Every structure is written in C-alpha cells, then in structure tokens.
C-alpha cells in the first residue's frame, strides 16, 4: 500500500480563507494598511475577552515588544522557563537583559514551587525590587509559557509576582482558546491574566495566518505603546516624525484576512483536537511504556499538541520511535532542547533544572492536525503497537 505522508501539524484552510484573502487582493489592501488588520484585532480581543489587541508579525516580535513596553531594560533580569521553544527567551537577549532559567512541573509549564523558592532563598526584596543575590541585578519580570495548550498555575504565579513586584508576560503562543474552568480566574483565557499576553499564528498553530501574532492586554497604556512601536514609532504620520526607535512589526492585511477566517472556525478546531486527543489517550491506555500526558482538569485546553511519554517499558527509546515512525511516513518530533543548554545561554543562571531533563528524554509529539482523520490516527496507533528497530 502506497500510504501518504502524515504530517505533525499543518493548517486547515477549509473556511472562508480564500474569500477573504481574494477580497483583500481585489481591493488592493495587501500590506500593513487595510481594514482586515483592525477587524482581526477587535475580533481577537472579543474572543479572549480582553480590552484590546495589537497585531504583530509573529509571537517572537510580540514578546520583544511586550518586554519593551513593560519597561524591561538591559540592566534587568527576567525569569524564564528552560523547557520551551527558544523564541520565548531570545527577545530577552534582544533588549540586552539576561534570563534566569526555571524548571518545569508535570504539566510541562513553569514549576511554581521552585519559582517561589528561588525568590525566597536566592534573592532579596529591597525597596520594591527583587534582587538576585548572585548577580546583584534587578529581576523585573517573568515570562510564563502555556506549553502545548496546557496552562501554567496562574493563581500561584500572579501571587508570587504581586509579592515581589514582578511583571508577568504570558507567552500564550500555543494556547489561544485555553481558559480556566474554575478558581480565581474562572473564564479567563490564557494570555489575559498577566500584564500582557502574546499569541502566535504560525503555520503549525491551531489557527494560522501563515506567520503572525497578537499582543493582548487589559492595560490600555501598554496597548497604545505597543501599537506605536510596531508601526515604526511615528509621532506624525504625515511628516514622518519618529519619537523613538520603532519596528516594522505590524501584520499585513492579507494575513489578517486569513486570520479572520481561521478565528471563525477555532471552536470547531478545538473540538476536533479534543476528539483526536481522547482517541489517542484511550488507545494508549494499557499499552506498556506509552501514555499521553494529561491536560489540567481546571482548564478548557485547546489541545494544540499531544505529548506522548515514552517509559522504559516500551521496546524503543525516544529517538528510535521518531526514526521508526518516519519509516512509516509519520512525522513526529522530540520536545525542544533545553534553552539553558543552548550555546547562546551557556553562562546564564539556572535554578534546580531537574524535571525538565527527564521530560526532554521522554516526550514525543505525534500528529495532531485538525484535518487528521480517524483512519490515519488508527494507523499511527497500529504502528506503535508493533514497533520495529529501523
């Protein structure tokens, strides 16, 4: 049988994408000007229930701008997770600040107990500033990442941040559509609980604009400045007067047209993601050495990526499974290499990085596209039931 390739995560463009993009082309609004950009910003803010949104070119640029508008500078430090995609941390270096790396918990998000311990034992709080005992630098902010559509413990994180006067930047690039079902933040979406949040619409995300992102906040001053900076910081558009260094980060009208069509379908996408996740989870139950990691019961996750945990009871290790699945035309991938181990961050401070190292060796992402059909999912399960060394 000549089976087709099953990709890890690809776009689903079966809504009004062509109609909206064609309209943008017909009206010749294809660049960063045009009504679709503003409309998309408004609709995203309505969907996640926050005061406003500012479009940007990708999640990375969104985090870059978030750090700037929150006042983080080159003399500061920022607490970040080590287990995430490197784009969540690189913007800290863009502005000349330094990251301090934190471990993950079993949800793959930041370990709040270690975060609390670090602030209590490795720092001193003086005149409203958290000072790192080792570097003697002011820790001004933390970036929390909602990994794979799961959600970090925001109640604990906000409590710690309030105690130590830390700015909270939410990297919700993988978590649009995820929100709390209970607790203090019941009904609040990922990205809308901290000072500022960022979404990504990269090609592999649950909804896509090809490349693009969105900055959201309930702080209107931060949003105004974010829009100013993402549009080259023009204080007078007619006479091209610029009052500070700005960036060419605004989303294009074509991207926004695509995004609006995707947003119309996001709840359907989430339902498909959940159905496929439940199917995988049930099929892996009782299969020695393999299990799908849970999402938290306290949230409605978007189920963006599925994390397959490979234990010693399975016949193949992580790398062997990836190679074996590739031989069966099934794309999979390991979780990211720890950022604190990467060459640009070799000298940066880490704090008790233990659990992240365990998950690094054990996690594989398997196909999770919203157009993954049941026959393909069955085939993936069947292949993993009878693994072969390649």
Write out pLDDT tens, residues 148-203: 999 999 999 999 999 999 999 999 999 999 999 999 999 999 999 999 999 999 99
Q: What is the percent of the chain with per-residue pLDDT over 90, rounded to a whole number?
A: 95
- Range 231-254 average pLDDT: 93
Structure token pair of residue 240: 């091209």
Terminal alpha carbon distance of the chain? 19
Question: How would you list the strands of the sheet with 363-366, edge to edge?
Answer: 290-292, 306-310, 363-366, 333-334
Lowest mean pLDDT among 114-118, 148-152, 233-237: 233-237
Q: Give yes or no for residue 388 having a pLDDT over 90.
A: no
Identify the CA nearest to 348 among candidates 141, 138, 170, 134: 134
- Range 290-315 average pLDDT: 97
Which residues touch 224 (CB under 8 Å, ≥6 apart)?
none
What is the reported pTM? 0.96
Which CATH entry fits the domain spanning 266-385: 3.40.50.300, 3.10.450.630, 3.90.1150.10, 3.30.565.10?
3.90.1150.10
- Name the residue ranges covered by the structural domains of the chain: 17-263, 266-385
Using CA atoms, how far apart are residues 390 and 385, in angstroms rounded to an integer?
A: 15
- Range 111-132 average pLDDT: 98
Q: Give yes or no for residue 1 having a pLDDT over 60.
A: no
CATH number of 17-263: 3.40.640.10
Give the pLDDT confidence of 305-333 residue by residue, as tens digits: 999 999 989 999 999 999 999 999 999 99
Would you state the pLDDT for residue 390?
A: 79
The total number of residues shown for the chain amounts to 390
Confidence of residue 366 (pLDDT cuts 50, 70, 90): very high
């Amino acid at each position: 049988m000549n089976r087709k390739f099953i990709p890890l995560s690809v776009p689903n463009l079966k809504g009004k994408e062509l109609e909206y993009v064609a309209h943008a082309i017909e009206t010749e609004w294809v660049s960063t000007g045009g009504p679709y950009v503003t409309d998309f910003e408004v609709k995203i803010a309505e969907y996640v229930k926050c005061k406003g949104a500012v479009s940007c070119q990708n999640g990375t640029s969104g985090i870059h701008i978030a750090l700037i508008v929150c006042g983080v500078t080159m003399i500061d430090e920022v607490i970040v997770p080590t287990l995430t995609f490197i784009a969540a941390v690189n913007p800290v270096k863009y502005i000349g600040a330094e990251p301090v790396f934190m471990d993950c918990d079993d949800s793959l998000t930041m370990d709040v107990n270690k975060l609390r311990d670090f602030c209590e034992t490795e720092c001193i709080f003086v005149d409203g500033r958290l000072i790192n005992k080792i570097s003697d630098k002011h820790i001004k902010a933390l970036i929390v990442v909602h990994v794979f559509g799961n959600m970090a413990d925001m109640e604990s994180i906000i409590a710690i941040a309030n105690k130590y006067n830390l700015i909270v930047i939410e990297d919700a690039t993988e978590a649009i559509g995820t929100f709390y079902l209970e607790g203090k933040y019941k009904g609040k979406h990922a990205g809308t609980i901290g000072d500022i949040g960022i979404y990504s619409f990269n090609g592999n995300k649950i909804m896509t604009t090809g490349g693009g992102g969105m900055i959201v906040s309930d702080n209107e001053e931060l949003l105004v400045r974010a829009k100013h900076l993402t549009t080259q910081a023009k204080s007078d558009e007619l006479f091209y007067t610029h009052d500070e260094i700005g960036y060419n980060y605004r989303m294009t009208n074509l991207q926004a047209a695509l995004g609006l069509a995707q947003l119309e379908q996001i709840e359907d996408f989430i339902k498909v993601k959940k159905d496929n996740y439940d199917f995988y989870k049930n099929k892996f139950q009782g299969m020695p050495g393999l299990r799908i990691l849970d999402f938290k019961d306290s949230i409605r996750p978007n189920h963006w990526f599925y994390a397959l945990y490979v234990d010693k009871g399975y016949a193949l290790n992580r790398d062997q499974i990836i190679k074996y699945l590739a031989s069966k035309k099934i794309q999979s991938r390991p979780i990211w290499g720890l950022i604190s181990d990467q060459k640009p961050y070799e000298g940066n401070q880490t704090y008790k990085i233990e659990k992240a190292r365990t998950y690094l060796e054990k996690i594989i992402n398997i196909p999770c596209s919203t157009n993954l059909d049941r026959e393909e999912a069955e085939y993936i399960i069947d292949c993993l039931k009878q693994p072969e060394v390649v």
